[in-house]
Structure 1
Amino acid sequence: MSEARAAFVARLGGIYEHSPWVADAVYGRPEATTPEGLRTAMRQAVDGADAAHKLALLRAHPELACRQADALTQASQGEQRGAGLDRCTADEFAEFQRLNAAYRQKFGFPFIIAVKGLDRQAILAAFRTRIGNDAETEFRTALEQVHRIAGFRLDALNASDC
């Protein structure tokens, strides 16, 4: 891997949680030279990946309100803290634990939601609704949420460049 490619992947490899292959897949693509083009190229790389890569991407995400802070990436810590997930009541924590276990048992990956702009109650409401989805619908929904999270992370990265 060239130095330039390694630097690109190092800088953008965390946009999609623990999935630097996404950044690697778009390196050198002409459209990846603008923020919007990069967003589109990364989305296309994920959407064009095989089912195994998509499932691995979903499984790379942390469960909500249930991991110790040191087990989360810095980006995930900030996102969950922003939604108040570090301040759950005992009852909320217990419900997150129960829903996390039931969801993972049903779908084989953790519940994923772009928490930016949401509070704990909205997240729990979405959790309660989405656990009723069929597997195909939830797989698509989870991937769409992953894209939203990546978009927020790209926005934050671009803002830090200003």
Structure 2
Amino acid sequence: MSDRETFVDRFGGVFEHSPWVAERAYDRAAACGLTAGSVHSALCNAFRAASPAERLAVLKAHPDLAGKLAIAGKLTADSRAEQASAGLDRLSPEEHQRFTALNKAYTKKFGFPFIIAVKGLTKDDIIAAFERRIDNSAEEEFETACAQVEQIARLRLRSMLPGDENA
């Protein structure tokens, strides 16, 4: 396996189901060293340099919060752990119904699932963000969702490359 293949194999899932981000980031990351900060910077630069359609595909690759994939046990390990950390795997039937309604309204308006870096948040924090962000314009929400994807990547990299808290 080449260094590039090893890098993509290791970091290809940092941006949900989008290994092309790691593929495009490899040269820059290899030149800077494999710290969480340098890999994050390289991945985010590749993501931001992508076309709007490519970035939209990354957004669409994210699962709904507490959605069908979570119920079916088909989330990636990272997504499952992230959602569980916010208690989304322990919703009451009423809370689950609220998340389902918010997911549906958000996706209908924006064309991609609601994305938020859930680490350190509670289900109430997430619902409040859902309700606040649903009033954003399409352009504002696309940028907000992209920034959240980058924050999720930062958190994932910190767990993969411990000791680099500056990432």
Q: Partner letter of residue 12 of structure 1?
A: F
Number of the residue aligned with 1:39: 40
State the SS of the aligned residue for 1:86: coil
Partner of 1:50: 51
Q: Is the 8 A contact 1:14 1:20 kept in 2?
A: yes
2:19 alignment counterpart: 20
User: Corresponding residue for 1:112?
Assistant: 115
Q: Deviations over 1:27-67 (max 9, x none)?
A: 12212533211111111111111011100000000000113
Q: Distance in 1 between matches of 2:128 and 2:34?
A: 38
The reply to whether residue 130 of structure 1 matches residue 130 of structure 2 is no
2:2 matched to 1:3?
Answer: yes
Amino acid at match of 1:20: P
The answer (yes or no) to whether the contact 1:69–1:77 under 8 Å persists in 2 is: no
Checking the alignment, whether the CA contact within 8 Å between 1:104 and 1:110 is kept in structure 2 is yes
TM-score for both structures, normalised by structure 1: 0.94
Residues 160, 79 of structure 1: alpha-carbon distance in 2 compared, 3 angstrom cutoff: farther
Q: Percent identity?
A: 49
Structure 1 unaligned regions, length at least 5: none
Give 1:70 deviation, angstroms: 2.3
SS of match in other structure, 1:104: helix
Contact 1:80 1:86 in 2 (8 A): yes
**Aligned ranges 1:96-111 → 2 under 5 Å:** 96-111=99-114
Gap runs ≥5 in structure 2: none
- Tell me if the contact between 2:65 and 2:83 (Cα under 8 Å) persists in the aligned partners: yes
Amino acid aligned to 1:82: S
Between the aligned partners of 1:21 and 1:69, the Cα distance in structure 2 is 27
Deviations 1:12-41 (CA, angstroms, capped at 9, x unpaired): 001110010111011122125332111111
| Shift in Å, 1:110 | 0.1
The number of residues matched between the two structures is 160
**Residue type of the alignment partner of 2:149:** V
Tell me, in whole angstroms, the C-alpha distance in 2 between the residues paired with 1:127 and 1:114: 12
Deviation at 1:89, TM superposition (A): 1.1
Q: Distance in 2 between matches of 1:141 and 1:121?
A: 19
Instruction: State the 1:133 CA deviation.
Output: 0.7
2:79 alignment partner in structure 1: 76
Distance 2:8 2:42 in 1: 14
Q: Are 1:32 and 1:41, in contact at CA under 8 Å, matched by a contact in 2?
A: no
Q: Show the counterpart of 1:150.
A: 153
